[in-house]
Structure 1
Amino acid sequence: MSNLLGLLNDKQQQLVGDLTSGLQRDQLLWLSGYLAGLGEASGEKPAAAVTGTQQVPLTILFGTHTGHSEVLANQLAERARELGIDAEATVMEDYDVQELPDAVNLLVIVSTDGEGEPPLNALDFLEYLQGERCRELTGLNYAVLGLGDRSYKQYCQTGIDFDVALEGKGANRLLELVKCDVDYHEDARKWSDGVLEILQQQKGIVSDASVTVSDHVTPSVVYDRQHPFQAKVLEKVKLSGRGSGKEVYHLELLLRDSGLTYEPGDTVGIFCDNPPELVEKVLEITDFDRNEQVTIKNGTHSLETALRHHLELSVLNRSVLESYRELTGNEILGDLLNDEQALDTYLYGHDVVDLLTDFSAELEIAGLVSVLTSLQPRMYSISSSQAAHPEELHLTVAAVRYDNHDRRRHGACSTFLSDRVEAGSEIPIFIEKNRNFKLPEQNEAPLIMVGAGTGIAPYRSFVQHRQKLKAKGDSWLFFGDRQFFTDFLYQAEWQKFLKKGSLGQLTVAFSRDQEEKLYVQHRMREHGRQLYEWLQRGAYFYVCGDKIHMAKDVHQTLQEIVATEGGMTPEKAEEYLKDLKKQRRYQQDVY
């Protein structure tokens, strides 16, 4: 206390000594930052309480399938750097786990695929944390943000797995795990604010930067999910032939002056309106005044406008049913929520009208609105290459219509595009990167592409792209649909690709052209030996289409082919396929 260069008199020095005696190191750091903040407020620049050498580095790791986690991680890293924190965002598969024991602060942002599965680029890191090779991490502080979808039973399971694994290694949790639904932006922002505030306190940095944490917004791109681009429809053509039982459309959108870029395999998000018939049915059942004003997340609207443009009506999930149960006290709905199998059955193919009808109750308008979630964009595989069409984006869309429980059902976005969008219309879109469905970097690598119905869309972009680049690699397309004459999507284009050599082989399966059903997996089995030979020489295997049936059947068939042609047990064949996935040579885009 004696060497204060005359800054304090004896009485002030005594007060400081009394105040600081008994304080722990982290309390002293906080106090130094607090006093520095007071100095800033006085208008005079104080001596720095924390120098650059005292800044603790921050490691941000992300695992992603669609790219949301990557965007959040990069935004968080930029915000942290603006606050003087040495932050870096890295995809998990590129992170050197040997650096983990020396890390001080770790933030994990990770999505969950399907029923509780980690993204491919997060799998190895998660297995490392869960295994014996990872030592104790008692010196590590961490927090986890999980992205997921409440409509799945294993909601944010990968986030939970990372949180449990890090805690199990003795790491210190900075914040409780935050689980985000598909409408994740607000929860993710609050989590980011929280961890940045803790990190500032940890290092004794307290200034007006704390205000910046709440107010700062770092745009990633000009047009994104929060600020979609209004794309003009240049062309809309029905691909299905006369007599087909399906309605498939080809749409071409103009991207001029948008700055939007995409690669083969990426997806486009489209914001649509709810089907008018569904909106009218909700108003009819509830007998609510369509013109009454309601307040939702994005402002105040008439009830009709909110139902048509802003609230989800076509899809139900567990959280909606739980909120409705809490609002109405319906015991039958409570029983349904406790029966996982019955709940899954109910959620599939039911909508808000079913909920209001099957579990009727006296409702207020505000109550109904509080139960419903925001209308989410629908994602579609892009069916064009930007190398071939620099200012365009193409879509291949099947209109979804079916009867269920004595009522006609309409897919929200597919019928929006088929029934209410024409050439000249403008629709709000954004691009979503798909890191897990990409062409190989080597243009010479062989491709095996398996798709049914509109699952052919990304392969059109693949072949267009390779043709534009004059790639020399072999390519083989397996395509399946109902009938040759009515459902052979882009038939003329595939024939041209074959003639020019951009597509090497085309094998088709039309299920209803003969008495016995014939699917792509049957064609794969017929060509099993050649398929295995392609895999052995480094081919990349792609599957796009229905997740529940087609993708599972294709996987099972591929496993059988590998076992038969490779002389392996089923278990060894499954390991072979798992290894292909780790090499990114077995990729799926399923829904």
Structure 2
Amino acid sequence: MSATSPALAPSPLPDERKRLLAQVVDGLDGASLWWVSGYAAGLAQAHGPASPQLALLPPAAVVSAAPAGATTSTLTIVYGSQTGNAKRQAEQLAAAAEAAGLGVRLLRADAYPTRELARERLLYVVISTQGEGDPPDDAIGLVEFISGKRAPRLPELRYAVLGLGDSSYADFCGISRRLDARLAELGANRLFAVGEADLDIDTVATPWREQALAQARELLTSEHAAVPSATVTPLRPANVPAYSHDRPFAAELLLNQPLSGRNFKGPGFLQYGAAGKDVRHIELSLQGSGLHYEPGDALGIWQRNPAPLVEGVLRTLQLDGEQAVSHDGQTLPLREWLAGKRELNKLARPLLALHAAQSRSDELNDLLAPGRNAALAELLNTHQLIDVLRRWPAHWDAQELVAALRPLAPRLYSIASSRKRVGEEVHLTVDVLNYEAFGYAHLGAASGFLSSLQDGDSAPVYIEANERFRLPADGARDVLMIGPGTGVAPFRGFVQERAETAASGRNWLFFGAQHFNQDFLYQSEWQEALRNGELHRLDLAFSRDQADKVYVQQRLRESGRAVYDWLENGAHLYVCGAIGMGKDVHAALLDIVIEHAGVDADAANDYLTRLQTGGRYSRDVY
């Protein structure tokens, strides 16, 4: 948990006390914050029970009155989550354990005090894999610690790992596998095999949680009679939103406006200028939803697959879209299964394996063979389901197809607004995926869905909190924002929020795209922000406007001295955009620290890790 994470709902503190509190906790690491929370809880107990209105919204809460540290009678659940799925699974397990009367504490990975690992006796880890085998940002420090030389021997630890991943990536659940193996290598006792959940998470996660709970009850029931009195008592949210991931709100479209490109042709399969970009500014109404968000949060979209794609699958397989198909207790026409219930854009290895058997293709079976990860990754990155069906024809009946396809997963978009400025609205910056491949047009599922919305239409949405991507609690802190392309979205919200709260710290934005004339997203807003002092510095990199390509990481290096000085003076650093860009920016930051701090690569890496664990270097990469 970073020092900038918590949000207090209605506070009894006067403004001056709130400012002092923000200054005290700003920059503290997870262990220090947990000590502070325990200290405050102990003081509060002396004054009687908490008012139900004073609800702390914690990113990583202890979910029962469990010991603040590891004990022999406590189950510790640690989660690392990039998009919220691992967090939800960990919370469900913790709630079930609490309901069973077990001592349990639930911690986000960056709030876990690593010094306690040697004393743990029962540990469950729920962790997602990001991209090609990377840990989620909130688990980087813990994974590095467990993987490194400082990790202790763990002969008394019993553990299990649940991994969440996406089999459209070759290194599926790679982090969970490596973490599971490393804990065993350190002498810990694996209770049962690592769970590897694909996008249809509950298929694997539900039985894994049931097994985990049964093991915990067996191991802890006899030990749970005496729980130490020193506790960290959680303050729970007073109001649970009526709408959520599993019950989305129908948000009415307010505005669907092109931000880039030329030669606007209208909705559908759009054609744009030389850069081929179609970026939209989308505004949706949250009026009446009760949904609230903070700058840095994401909006979940439950999209429908493009109609041309659905019809293409039906036509290629010669299936009747009106045929009724029953699956998992639900009966729908096949066309509806494909349009709103099944994943068509993103391939998965299990589906490819089934199709290889159906098509009896030696070529496809070869791509799935061990040691062909690079070739498989290329296939997964370039092909949609329809491309595979056309390239390697095979017979599928409707029932088999619905059962083989993964459930449709929502897409997350960084929110590009501050509620303090826009009220009961939420704004998005959407890059519409629209390209030609293998002789056919292709349209992104969620981006195509959003871009096609017209007046009177609505989109099923929910808020996905991102506590690790928060503005500093101390408004006097400077903020460095790096967001090329649609990665600039959250920083529009940041700048709005800082202006509306009269934050005195400076704001510096690095933005990059291909072409100044076509791709300078929110150009007039940034120029106005510079004129009125809401934005203090803007560095631009347009890669295709000159012979030599220029990217944001080059602009960072060119301003390395100033970047380092800002960091040394307490600035918070944020990066949003593609995973590859995030890695390039991180490499540039390492070079900046090496050059301007006069240290070696290891020391520079430690410097950036301290910024991350201290909540001053946050990334939202995808």
Q: Alignment length, in residue pairs?
A: 525
Aligned positions of 1:538-557 closer than 5 A = 538-548=570-580, 550-557=581-588
Give TM-score, length-normalised by structure 2.
0.78
Shift of the alpha carbon at 1:170? 3.3
Match of 1:335 in 2: 366
Aligned positions of 1:198-213 closer than 5 A = 198-202=215-219
Aligned counterparts of 1:302 and 1:264: Cα–Cα separation in 2: 40
Aligned counterparts of 1:74 and 1:446: Cα–Cα separation in 2: 34
2:174 paired with 1:157: yes
Match of 1:474 in 2: 506
Match of 2:250 in 1: 230
Task: Tell me, yes or no, if the aligned pair for 2:321 and 2:333 is still in contact at 8 Å.
Answer: yes
Aligned counterparts of 2:199 and 2:397: Cα–Cα separation in 1: 26
| Matched residue type, 2:384 | D
Match of 1:484 in 2: 516
Aligned counterparts of 2:539 and 2:619: Cα–Cα separation in 1: 19
Shift of the alpha carbon at 1:384? 0.7
Give the one of 422, 431, 443 matched to 1:398: 431
Aligned counterparts of 2:109 and 2:473: Cα–Cα separation in 1: 20
Aligned positions of 1:11-410 closer than 5 A = 56-131=73-148, 133-202=150-219, 221-240=241-260, 242-243=262-263, 244=273, 245-297=276-328, 299-338=330-369, 339-410=372-443
Alpha carbons of structure 1 residues 298 and 386: separation in structure 2 relative to 1, 3 Å? farther
| Matched residue type, 1:480 | G
Match of 1:21 in 2: none
Alpha carbons of structure 1 residues 291 and 125: separation in structure 2 relative to 1, 3 Å? same
Paired residue secondary structure (1:348) = helix
Paired residue secondary structure (1:460) = helix
Alpha carbons of structure 1 residues 249 and 132: separation in structure 2 relative to 1, 3 Å? closer
Give the one of 550, 564, 582 matched to 2:613: 582
Task: Tell me, yes or no, if the aligned pair for 2:608 and 2:617 is still in contact at 8 Å.
Answer: yes
Tell which deviates more after alignment, 407-416 or 170-179: 170-179
Aligned counterparts of 2:427 and 2:385: Cα–Cα separation in 1: 31
Task: Tell me, yes or no, if the aligned pair for 1:255 and 1:392 is still in contact at 8 Å.
Answer: yes
Shift of the alpha carbon at 1:526? 3.3
Task: Tell me, yes or no, if the aligned pair for 1:544 and 1:589 is still in contact at 8 Å.
Answer: yes
Alpha carbons of structure 1 residues 460 and 571: separation in structure 2 relative to 1, 3 Å? same
Give TM-score, length-normalised by structure 1.
0.82
| Matched residue type, 1:427 | A
Aligned counterparts of 2:540 and 2:530: Cα–Cα separation in 1: 14
Aligned positions of 1:521-532 closer than 5 A = 521-532=553-564
| Matched residue type, 2:99 | E
Shift of the alpha carbon at 1:298? 6.6
| Matched residue type, 2:419 | Q
2:492 paired with 1:460: yes
Shift of the alpha carbon at 1:124? 3.4
Shift of the alpha carbon at 1:97? 3.9
Paired residue secondary structure (1:387) = helix
Query: What RMSD over aligned residues (CA atoms) do the two structures have, in Å?
Result: 2.8
Task: Tell me, yes or no, if the aligned pair for 2:345 and 2:445 is still in contact at 8 Å.
Answer: yes
Aligned counterparts of 1:232 and 1:203: Cα–Cα separation in 2: 49
Shift of the alpha carbon at 1:462? 0.8
Aligned counterparts of 2:579 and 2:142: Cα–Cα separation in 1: 26
Shift of the alpha carbon at 1:573? 4.1
2:578 paired with 1:561: no
| Matched residue type, 2:565 | E
Paired residue secondary structure (1:560) = helix
Task: Tell me, yes or no, if the aligned pair for 1:253 and 1:394 is still in contact at 8 Å.
Answer: yes
Shift of the alpha carbon at 1:432? 1.5
Alpha carbons of structure 1 residues 130 and 546: separation in structure 2 relative to 1, 3 Å? closer
Alpha carbons of structure 1 residues 256 and 332: separation in structure 2 relative to 1, 3 Å? same
Paired residue secondary structure (2:378) = helix
Aligned counterparts of 2:518 and 2:342: Cα–Cα separation in 1: 36
Alpha carbons of structure 1 residues 570 and 91: separation in structure 2 relative to 1, 3 Å? closer
2:568 paired with 1:536: yes
Identity of aligned residues (%): 41
Shift of the alpha carbon at 1:523? 3.0
Shift of the alpha carbon at 1:440? 2.4
Match of 1:415 in 2: 448
Paired residue secondary structure (2:382) = coil
Alpha carbons of structure 1 residues 323 and 577: separation in structure 2 relative to 1, 3 Å? same
Task: Tell me, yes or no, if the aligned pair for 2:102 and 2:221 is still in contact at 8 Å.
Answer: no
Structure 1's unaligned 5+ residue stretches are 1-51, 206-218
Alpha carbons of structure 1 residues 93 and 203: separation in structure 2 relative to 1, 3 Å? closer
Give the one of 533, 536, 539 matched to 1:501: 533
Paired residue secondary structure (1:73) = helix
Match of 1:434 in 2: 466
Match of 2:36 in 1: none
Structure 2's unaligned 5+ residue stretches are 1-65, 223-238, 264-272
Aligned counterparts of 2:142 and 2:465: Cα–Cα separation in 1: 22
